[in-house]
Amino acid sequence: MLTDIIRSKTIKAIQSIYAIELSERDLQVNLTKPEFEGDYTIVLFSLIKSLKKNPDEIGNAIGNYLVENETAFFESYYIIKGFLNIVLKSDFLLKMLNQHYQDPCFGKAAMNEKKIMVEYSSPNTNKPLHLGHLRNNFLGRSIAEILKANGYDVAKTCIVNDRGVHICKSMIAWKRFANGATPSSTNKKGDHFVGDYYVMFNDAYKTEVEELVQKGMSKADAEKEAPIMKETQQMLIDWENGKPEVIELWKTMNQWVYDGFEITYRRIGSDFDKTYYESNTYLLGKDTIEMGLKNDVFFKKDDGSVWIDLTSEGLDEKLVLRGDGTSVYITQDIGLAQLKYDEFNIDQSIYVVGDEQNYHLKVLQLICKKLGLPYADGIHHLSYGMVELPTGKMKSREGTVVDADDLIDEMVSIAAAHTQELGKVKEFSSTELKELYDTIGLGALKFFLLRVDPKKKMIFNPEESIDFHGFTGPFIQYTHARIKSVLRKNELDPSMHDFKEPLHKMEKELLIQCELFEQTLKQAGQSLDPSTLSMYLFQLAQSFNSFYAALSISNAETEQKKQLRLKISSMVATILKSGMQLLGINVPEKM
């Protein structure tokens, strides 16, 4: 990477001139701001104290050394208010261009020996995927792909919450209200069908509570005594005892949901190397708790419940096993973490989970560390903020959640309307149009949810996300299609690679931006933040459009200039396609 080369050669220059040792952390190298001359800027202020000289004197000494001794890289320099602006020779950039202008692997690292697991999605089988799940899925999958691009062996997993009282609520409501209806008999997608009964449960429960309150019962008692809630609790007991008719209904309704999930996952491009089910893992972890008791990591209270004291870590006492011997969520999570480690031998386990679980994941890692478990240090919570609509928060049990499928359909519809307004798709067949609208609609949705730092809460605005001129997926998709159109109309000559004419400022700037792709992927992987990549791709597309508006490609001054600009265009298109694919977004060849 150019920044690493510049930093390394600058440190060598300082050591040679001043005979002092510096680490690479001591030197800041940035792109030169567009209003100043130069390509890269070396910040000099951090050197003043150790060298006991003014910044201009330091800058001139380093600049002269680099231009005189590193002739393959540096052409000239400028000193501007404590900054050393270096002008690169074009040779390095042109060599990169000739080697990689059509290379889909450009910027990606060689495989290393580290294995990382990314767990995401984690749906419940009592309702369809919704807008919040979409941010989770897009984050999880894009992080997995970015880590692969950084050379890691990545396993993508999902834990399905398929048991518990919330699942029984949909089952009880179906028994009460369905009259034998099924997804096929109602022509409804399975996860939506089951989700409707979850909402029906809540409506019936509210009604029963109100009736009991009107008869003189306190609200707290009414909530416990409502017949539909007592039926649900009994159903959970029957499930745990393996009652055949309950197990059969549970399997049937879960399968309806899985069939619905699969359609949505296929449409949004989410996939998993392994899916875990809570019904198979909820008893895990008890052996580990027993081990911790023997080693005094945990302690028992008089009622037989098992706890851990985390007050020295600024937290509180945490229940890990109930007095009746049943597990709580943290018990199951410890057991599942062990299972995943045993099955995949992972160095790191990344949990893509909303920020409402910050405390839970912190406790999980602390307990695993105190137990001395080998995977404890590798637990990482990729915490993300909730997604809201301009109208406010969403609530599943009240039926106010925006279903993923409905939102995707809306996005595709908006994409169709915007594309038709542009009037550039008259030659497309109906099949091509459908594919294009899907590509633009999903691309807009994914990019909008990924362009924000995961840690931040966000408001999703469908209309804003699909603006062809804004910080959006469609803007980048359109830029890629524009480049492909140019390349179809002009024949690129691969044999022409000896470009002698000086680079125009905009040609050079665009090549430097292309070179930054590798560094951007590395930063996005280290920070587990796809918004880093999103911003880079947007800025690259912006720069290309400025380049395209200012410099003619088809009617360039010379054939050599034309071929140079075609190669630069091809490299930009290659990077845009590669980068967007890491975000899970397709880019069309024409639009």
pLDDT tens sequence across 449-503? 999 999 999 988 888 888 888 999 999 999 999 999 999 999 999 999 889 899 9
Element holding 570 (H helix, E strand): helix 559-582
Half-sphere exposure in the Cβ direction for 571 (13 Å, CA): 28
Residue 82: which of 57, 52, 65 has the closest Cα?
Answer: 57
Q: What are the start-end ranges of the H helices in 215-275? A: 219-225, 227-240, 244-268
Average pLDDT across the chain, whole number: 93
Half-sphere exposure in the Cβ direction for 119 (13 Å, CA): 25
- For the chain, what is the radius of gyration of the CA atoms? 29
pLDDT of the residue at 394 = 43
Residue type, 292: G
Q: Is residue 74 over pLDDT 80?
A: yes
Sheet holding 317-321, edge to edge: 299-300, 306-309, 317-321
Record the tokens describing residue 68, joined without a space: 């005189």
Share of the chain above pLDDT 70, in %: 98
Q: Is residue 392 over pLDDT 60?
A: no
Mean pLDDT in residue range 65-82: 92
| Mutual angle of helices 244-268 and 404-422, in 10-degree steps | 20
pLDDT of the residue at 326 = 86
Residue 106: which of 588, 582, 497, 587 has the closest Cα?
Answer: 582
Distance of CA 272 to the CA centre of its chain: 15
Q: What topology is assigned to 415-582 in CATH?
A: Isoleucyl-tRNA Synthetase; Domain 1 (1.10.730)
Helix (H, G, I), strand (E, B), or coil: what is residue 32? coil
Going from the C-alpha of 329 to that of each of 297, 319, 357, 362, 364, the distances in angstroms are 18, 10, 12, 13, 10
Task: Select 116-281+330-388's CATH number: 3.40.50.620, 3.40.640.10, 1.10.150.120, 3.50.50.60.
Answer: 3.40.50.620
pTM over cut 0.95? no
**C-alpha to C-alpha distance for 326 and 323, rounded to whole angstroms:** 7
Going from the C-alpha of 40 to that of each of 2, 177, 513, the distances in angstroms are 9, 69, 12
pLDDT of the residue at 48 = 87
Mean pLDDT in residue range 82-107: 95
Helices (H) and strands (E) in the chain, counts: 23, 14
Could you tell me if residue 491 is left (phi over 0), alpha (psi between -120 and 50 degrees) or otherwise beta?
beta
- 167 contacts 286 by C-beta, under 8 angstroms: no
Bridge partner residues of 389 (DSSP): 392
Residue 90: which of 505, 574, 551 has the closest Cα?
Answer: 505
Mean pLDDT in residue range 335-355: 96
CATH architecture, domain 2-89: 2-Layer Sandwich (3.30)
pLDDT tens sequence across 417-455? 988 887 777 888 999 999 999 999 999 999 999 999 999
pLDDT tens sequence across 530-558? 999 999 999 999 999 999 999 999 999 99
Mean pLDDT in residue range 354-377: 95
**C-alpha to C-alpha distance for 274 and 551, rounded to whole angstroms:** 50
pLDDT tens sequence across 15-25? 999 988 887 77
Mean pLDDT in residue range 187-199: 96
pLDDT tens sequence across 247-296? 999 999 999 999 999 999 999 999 999 999 999 999 899 999 999 999 99
pLDDT of the residue at 497 = 86
Mean pLDDT lowest for which of 132-146, 153-167, 232-246, 450-464?
450-464
CB atoms within 10 A of CB 302: 6
Residue 580: which of 491, 488, 483, 485 has the closest Cα?
Answer: 483
**C-alpha to C-alpha distance for 244 and 252, rounded to whole angstroms:** 12
- Domain positions in the chain are 2-89, 116-281+330-388, 286-326, 415-582
**C-alpha to C-alpha distance for 183 and 192, rounded to whole angstroms:** 9
Q: Is residue 366 over pLDDT 90?
A: yes
Helix (H, G, I), strand (E, B), or coil: what is residue 299? strand
Phi, psi of 288 (to 5 degrees): -65, -40
Place of tokens 């597309």: 541
pLDDT of the residue at 21 = 83
By CB neighbour count within 10 A (0-12 exposed, 13-18 middle, 19+ buried), where does 231 fall?
middle
Q: Is residue 400 over pLDDT 60?
A: no
Question: Binning pLDDT at 50, 70 and 90, where does residue 398 land?
Answer: very low
pLDDT of the residue at 254 = 98
pLDDT of the residue at 239 = 95
- 541 contacts 583 by C-beta, under 8 angstroms: no
**C-alpha to C-alpha distance for 452 and 530, rounded to whole angstroms:** 8
Phi, psi of 389 (to 5 degrees): -100, 165
Q: Is residue 194 over pLDDT 90?
A: yes
HEC-encoded secondary structure of 134-168: HHHHHHHHHHHHHHHHCCCEEEEEEEEECCCHHHH
